[in-house]
Amino acid sequence: MVGIRLENASASYFIHASRKPVVNGAQSVGAEIRSRGRFIEICALQNISLTMEPSDRVGLVGINGSGKSTLLKILARCLSVQSGTVQIEGSVCPQFSLSSGMHATLSGRANASLKCLYHGVSIRNIPERLESIKELSGLGEYFELPIRSYSAGMRSRLAMSLMSIMSGDIIIMDEWISAADATVNKTANELQTKLLSSASILVAASHSERVLRDWTDRLIWLEHGEILEDGPIDHVLKNYQDYVKKST
């Protein structure tokens, strides 16, 4: 069974401070800041309760610092909560940065091989997957060279092609992934569409109305680390957009 359940989940970041912060309490932008002796506590999420089930397509909205990325990290099992409970059933595939974990001194092939191992591709299937990644990337013989010799566009090509080996019951995305090189955007979009369509649950944070409407039908609006609204996309998005217009 695939599912996500959070009950009164709270998460904070702690920063060592040489002096007491000037501001202490609710902020106009970002999470609440509290003084904890020689530390500053940034209350990124406070008492979050939500449930997600198979076939859910959930979008996250909120101004910068509202807690979207922190919530995604918790759902991706990259961050623990200080209080409350988090239950996640099913395999999770985070899509934060396709190029994360790559080693500049290793070749494109070696980096792709490590990514295959990380994503659970069996050793006997790796050679076939590597040839597919090489073809998708269009890097030719550069696939055998250290990626420190790549241009930004070439690194983007390699990262994009790695989507072909990714899968998961739950896909977590922080903003939409797009290739830096316009010549591979079509392939990147096709791979991304295939990945997202195969997921049982999708959770995506985005500032793009098009992305939210194309891929989600439920919207969670976060404000100061708390859920302000959770409901159908048309209703929540309108209220959020009205709020942003009044705030600017």
pLDDT at residue 183 in the model = 64
The packing angle between helices 126-137 and 108-118, to 10°, is: 130
How confident is residue 25, by pLDDT bands cut at 50, 70 and 90?
low
Fold assignment, 3-90+204-247: Rossmann fold (3.40.50)
C-alpha span between 126 and 143 (Å, rounded): 15
Tokens of 248: 């600017």
Query: Are both 3-90+204-247 and 95-199 of the same fold?
Result: yes
- For 95-199, CATH number out of 3.40.50.300, 3.30.70.330, 3.40.5.10, 3.30.160.100 equals 3.40.50.300
Q: Are 169 and 200 in contact (CB under 8 A)?
A: yes
123 vs 23, which has greater pLDDT? 123
- Give pLDDT tens digits for 49-106: 999 999 999 999 999 889 999 999 999 999 999 999 999 999 999 888 767 788 999 9
- Give pLDDT tens digits for 107-116: 999 999 999 9
DSSP letter string over 134-182?
HHHHT-GGGGGSBGGGS-HHHHHHHHHHGGGG---SEEEEES----SSG
45 vs 40, which has greater pLDDT? 45
How confident is residue 187, by pLDDT bands cut at 50, 70 and 90?
confident
220 vs 155, which has greater pLDDT? 220
How confident is residue 31, by pLDDT bands cut at 50, 70 and 90?
confident
Enumerate the domain spans of the chain: 3-90+204-247, 95-199
- Give pLDDT tens digits for 199-240: 999 999 998 999 899 999 999 999 999 999 999 999 999 999
pLDDT at residue 237 in the model = 96
